[in-house]
Every structure is written in structure tokens, then in C-alpha cells.
Structure 1
């Protein structure tokens, strides 16, 4: 099992370990530098090791803030996906794990942010202790620097009578630090699975606080609170020699009063490139949002599913891609992802939208889909479309054997793939690379089969006429039915066509036994590279991922299951 997991996840493991290694290197290298650097010798007298903790975590924080925007730059990822020469095979699959990497980097930001904030709390308290009346020796001498003419201060806290909170709010670094902390807490708490699933709009709006986060991060170091000895002062004042002569600094020619300055802010340098890239991303999205989208057809399906056919100038797609849709009459800011259900050969592009939240319910209502057929004279809302963007399903045709698994409305991403297969069969075209496709659909409501069963029936007929019926093997599982449906199914069980779908392939009742299914597929295709593609709930995703690891051979020359999950 560990060997199979390593074979399937070696690239992901390499990426994660590389990211972790860079973080550890930056932290350790920066920590050691601040612990040994002569320019910060006197700073360490006041702050101790918390100086190094604060600065090391700050560098790691900057590094992760540089990375956090890259995985959510969809056009950038689509560009990388199209660059097949430099992004092939297992490395190409990493682009489908962009959101996982985005979350991993977010955890890195949170972890280092906590260390940085706690270290500076201790630093602020140590600065206060340096100004206390009972402070003595070198600590007291350093804290009093800056009171006399021609002196620069080292301790930013100038009096012990001012509270730490007030001192914090009197500096640019303190105010921006509080803003960064509050923004990070809001973003992280609103990104929990419960909030995203139940209150997606809340997650969407709060997540855009990242703009305030990055602005505050860029100016956070402008206060230059962390101060060190200037290079000129280091040449004249050797801290190792002069530290015990602090009472004679002004009189001793060999030990003039040391001069200090704040460290130049650097966070903006780390984040500048990704921020510019993301700004370009938003400009492209803004431009696309103002391109005209013509809605050519609206269809209402059972189970509260809305089908939209649209046209847009210069719109080009590939099977398995998705788009972002905005409806200004519902929200001027929200964009929601939907997989395309049309084929590239069609003169329109389509999506199927199920009512599963406030925004989708409002969209169905805007199109008059409240349990009734839409009026032909009803004015339709304006839609904005961004995309298309590449997803993991775009790689289905790149494997010799592909296994496509969907639950409920998760079948929509595969509609485009199957339609594309239909057109290729209709035009007697070959499917380069693909020799067999297994399709599984697990659905609870029999009414939901209607629109998709028509597509399967047409595909089944066309492939049979072309002598390519062997290319597709589909399995439909119905997990929910009432007593009347059960009686009806039993009475028509012996008929040649399935009573639920009208297809030659009979519908299965209950849930699939994935052990048996994967075992049979592995037996049918020894020494094959098999792509497994899934769109559905997280619980089943874990099960399928486990099956891929379990039935992949430890020998790289044996059968290998490569798991791909549709992510937005």
C-alpha cells in the first residue's frame, strides 16, 4: 500500500516536500542570521531570541504570501495547462490540485503569522521593561539612547508610563499588524467547509478581504520598528569591544555612541509579482464580463435543474472545461463555476444548474423556473461569462483507459465528454489514445435521469451504428425509490429496455461495490495506465482515492490507477 501510494502521489509529495523544505530553509537561515549578525547585537540585548523568531517567521510569511495568489489565477493555470511541452503527465495533474495547494499555503501563512504576532508581543513587552525604572546596566543605557542630541534611538518605546496597547496603536506597524491579523482570522474562519457549503456568499465576500490584507502587508514594515546598528556606526563602534564600556561611550574615542536605523521593508518585493499577475487576471475577467452573452435556449428539468444554452463571440472550448457565471441582477460581485455540458462541435455552449444555494435558487427564480415552464415573453436576466478554464476532466482522452464517476448533478462535467464522443463517432473520427471508457452514475432521484438518459441513448445508438459499442461501458445506479416505483420496476424487469432510462443497459439498484468494480477493471486492463475521474461529494472521493491506491500495482509496469477529482 505505501509503495502504491508513493507511485501515484510522488509528484504531489515532491511539491509538498519542496514547499516545506523552502520554508524550513528560510526560517532556519534567517533565524541564524539574526542570532549572529553584529548589526543586531544591541537589539538582541533588549529582545533576546524573540527578535530572530519574529524575523524568521516574517520571511516565511512573505514567501507564502508570494505563493498564495498563484493557485487561484485561473488564466495563468490555463496557460500552463496548454503548455503541454513543459507540463505533461503527473506534473499536469498537479494543476488540478491548485486549491489544495492554495489551502496548504494558507496554513503556512497562518502558522507563521501566529509565530510572528506572538514574538512581537514579547518584543513589545521587553521594550517596555527596558524603560522601567529598575532597569540597569547595558539594557538601561540602550533604552535611553535617543534622548540626547545627535543620538538615534534603539528602543521605540520611549516611556514606561505608556501602555503596550497604546504604543501598538501609535505606530504604522502596529495598526497594520492588527488589520492583517483580523483579516487573516476572518478569511480562515469563513473558509471552513461548513461556511463554504452552507453560506457560500458569506465565504465569497469575506475572502475578498485579502485585498486589505495585501495592502496592509505592503506597508507593514514602513514603521521600521526593528532597528539595527548602521553600517557606518559598525565601522566606528565595535559592539563586542564596546559593550562593557557603555558608561563611557560619549567620552571614549574608540567607542562613540552607536547609531541605529530601521530595517527597510521588503514584504512588497515578495508579493509584487503575484499581485501584478492577479491584477491582470481581474482585468481580463472585467473585460470578459462586459462581452455580450446571448441566451438562446432555456430548459427546465426535473429535480430543479436549469439548462442554459448561450453564445458568445470568439468562445472556444474543449471537453471537460468549466466557466464562471455572474448575474448582475443577483450580485455584482459573485462569480460561480459551472462545468460545460455542450460539445466543442456545437454552435453554442451550455450549462446545467441545480438549485443548491441562495444564488442558484435566485438564478432559477430569475429565469421563471419556480416549478413551471418559462414564459417565452419573459425578459431574461443578463449574464456575464468568464472562461472557459481547463479542469482535470480535460485529460480523459489522454489515457488508454478512463473511468468516469459522477453522483447526482455531478454528471454535468461528463456530458461534454460524452457529447464529444458522439460527434467523433458521427463524423467517423478516432479517439486518439483512448481505447475504453467506463462511466458510472450514482443518482438518488429517478427523475434526474431524464435529460442525461437522452444523451446516453443517442450515444448508445450512434456507437452501435459505427461498430464502436465496445468503446463505452456505462453503469447507472439508482439509490432512492418509493414503493410504487419498485412495483413498476419489478413488473417491467424482463423488457429489453430499462424501465427507468430506456437504455439497453439495465439500471442497478443500490450502491456500487467499488472493490469488485476496480478489481474487474484492473483484471481487464493489465499493465495499463487508467485515469479515474470523479465529480461528487468528499466522502466518496476518499473512497475512490483509496481504491486507486489499493488496486495500483507496486510494479510501475503493472496497472496504475491515477485519481483526478473535479475542483473549482
Structure 2
């Protein structure tokens, strides 16, 4: 075992105890990026024994902060990724101290990389040790049973859905690649070979094909802080680059700017349109996704989805403050009583 690695990860697979079935693994790489919006991203090599689903979470301990405290965080990497990642927002004493100890190991960002401070396996300073326990289940992990997804995150509440969006795209791309491969296995038919070997044909056609139930996803992210875009823009751009089939529709809402209809809001919108048309980048978020102002009209959002997907089963997943959860749950119930589309609401609070 390489004891010179930058971080050690203690993985506990026991659901009821942090001392059952424990493996200690040294990871050759761990990366941290600390952003202006009081958010840090921690990335570590995924242990070979660690299996999880998108939407699940794990507990994290940092002995340099406290040898006794464990805190839950959504896993933001996709199951197909070769690493584990979490996004942490500074909200209390523990997260404030976590930011401090990792900041001590960070260096200023190099050209072309976002983040106020950054460190990885090339950093000279030793990175703090992390312990992880999990994974643990959440409602969002069953997203695959729905035809369409509506994902709503407030601020840091977007983190459970990062993994889902990446996993959905990865699965669709993988399925299409497998279909292309199976097509290549069919024996050619032509003048030189007018007959097909029945045994070969039976073997090819009898192979089970994976069918994904989920075909589309709508992602709404609402934040009050423009600085939040700095840590989230890398994720949004990555998803936009992967989504060549327009499977995911992403929307950003910045609620701290002037209300829509305000003259100042209209000016910003005009500048947005000009910059997006010229450079393909939103002037507010710095991403390929256009930013809206004020708050979404959730009734119009659900009406649009119901109109586009009649008879579909829609999974509505929300992570944020309790107030909006009540509104979304009420709207789902209302639409279920008057249209063929069926909405199922799930919530998580932070």
C-alpha cells in the first residue's frame, strides 16, 4: 500500500454502524477547489469497493476538523465516474473549519481554471485526511422509473441532481453505443452471401437490450447569489457539452436581480441576448445556459411539461427550503386531477 498518497479514505459499508465492515484505502489523488460563493468542491479517487446510485448521499468526517463529527453530503459525481465528489457550502462552524484547513493546502488558480483556491495531487502541501461512510438512500435515487424528470434545486440544493443529470446522459450514450455495436454484429447479406446463418442470427437477436425509461429531464436552479454561478458553471457547461441530443433542458434563475419587467432587468436581458448570440455564453452566469430573473412561474412550468408529455409519468424532485415544497406538492396534486400527465412529488430539505 502506498503510504505517500495525498489522502486516505476510510469506507464503511455498514448501514447501521461506522465500525462494521471497514476498509482503509489510500487514494492517489484528491482535489479541492474553493470558490468565492463559500462553496468548496472535494474530489477523491473512488475506492473499488464503493458502489452507489445517483441521488444518494454519504457521511463525511475530517479528523483535522473534528474526529467525532460526521456530516451528510450528496454525492455529486456520477456512478460511472472514476472519482467521488461532493460540494460543500459554508453554513456553520464545521464547514467553516473544513474550508480553513483545505484552504491552507490550496494555491491560487492557474490561468483558465475557475475557483478562488485549488489543490490536487501535484500540490506540495499535504491534503487533509477524509473519512467517508455510505452510501445512503434518498428518494432521488429511483429517478429511473419515471418517463420524464423535473428537478428543482434552491442554491446548494442543486447538488443531488448533478449526479442524476450526468448519470442519465452517461446511460443514454452507453445504450446508443451498445446498439451500434450490436448492429455491427449482424452478418452481411448480398450477392456474394445471400443466406444468413440461422444460429448466428438467433444469438444476435436474442441478446437482451437495455431500455431506459427516462427520456427527458427539466432542471431548474434558483439562487439568490450571483457568485454561486462560479462553482456551478463548470457543471452546467459539462452537462451542456455532453447533451448533444437535447435530452436535458436547463434553466437558471437569479432572484436577487431586478424583477422581470423592470427597465434595468430589460437592459440586462438585452445585453444577455447580444452576448449569447455572439459568443454562445450567458453574460450573467458565464455558462451556455441563459439566466432568468425573479422566480419561476411553477404553474406555467408544470403546464408546459404536461402539454409536451401527455400520459407520461413525471418524477418531480425538489431539494431546498420547505416553503416551495408545499407549493410544488399542491400544484402536482392540482394537475393530476385535470390532465393525463401524472406528477409524483418527492422532497428533500437542507
Answer yes or no: same fold by TM over 0.5: yes
1:319 corresponds in structure 2 to 54
TM-score normalised to structure 2 length: 0.72
Give the match's secondary structure for 1:520. Answer: helix
2:314 counterpart of 1:530: yes
1:359 corresponds in structure 2 to 94
Alpha-carbon distance change, 502 to 421 in structure 1, aligned in 2, over 3 angstroms: farther
Q: State how 1:145-544 maps to structure 2 within 5 Å.
A: 281-282=16-17, 285-287=18-20, 291-292=24-25, 294=27, 296-311=30-45, 312-368=47-103, 373-374=117-118, 376-427=123-174, 428=176, 432-464=212-244, 468-469=245-246, 471-481=247-257, 490-495=270-275, 496=277, 497=280, 498-544=282-328
User: 2-side partners of 1:372 and 1:301: how far apart?
Assistant: 5
User: 2-side partners of 1:444 and 1:535: how far apart?
Assistant: 15
Give the match's secondary structure for 1:446. Answer: coil
Contact 2:139 2:346 in 1 (8 A): yes
Give the match's secondary structure for 2:315. Answer: strand
User: 2-side partners of 1:551 and 1:538: how far apart?
Assistant: 20
User: Alignment RMSD, CA only?
Assistant: 2.9
1:74-105 Cα offsets, whole Å, 9 max, x none, are 966xxxxxxxxxxxxxxxxxxxxxxxxxxxxx
Contact 2:257 2:294 in 1 (8 A): no
Contact 1:457 1:502 in 2 (8 A): no
Give the match's secondary structure for 2:336. Answer: coil
Superposed displacement of residue 431, structure 1:
6.5
Alpha-carbon distance change, 289 to 457 in structure 1, aligned in 2, over 3 angstroms: same
User: 1-side partners of 2:116 and 2:346: how far apart?
Assistant: 37
Indicate the structure with greater helix content. Answer: 1
Give the match's secondary structure for 1:367. Answer: helix
Q: Which has the higher contact order (CA 8 A, sep 6+)?
A: 2
User: 1-side partners of 2:57 and 2:117: how far apart?
Assistant: 27
User: 2-side partners of 1:418 and 1:372: how far apart?
Assistant: 26
Alpha-carbon distance change, 287 to 365 in structure 1, aligned in 2, over 3 angstroms: farther
User: 1-side partners of 2:84 and 2:288: how far apart?
Assistant: 29
TM-score normalised to structure 1 length: 0.46
User: 1-side partners of 2:25 and 2:147: how far apart?
Assistant: 39
Superposed displacement of residue 505, structure 1:
4.3
Indicate the structure with greater strand content. Answer: 2
User: 1-side partners of 2:169 and 2:302: how far apart?
Assistant: 26
2:181 corresponds in structure 1 to none
1:105-127 Cα offsets, whole Å, 9 max, x none, are xxxxxxxxxxxxxxxxxxxxxxx
- Structure 2: tracts of 5 or more residues without a match: 1-12, 107-114, 178-209
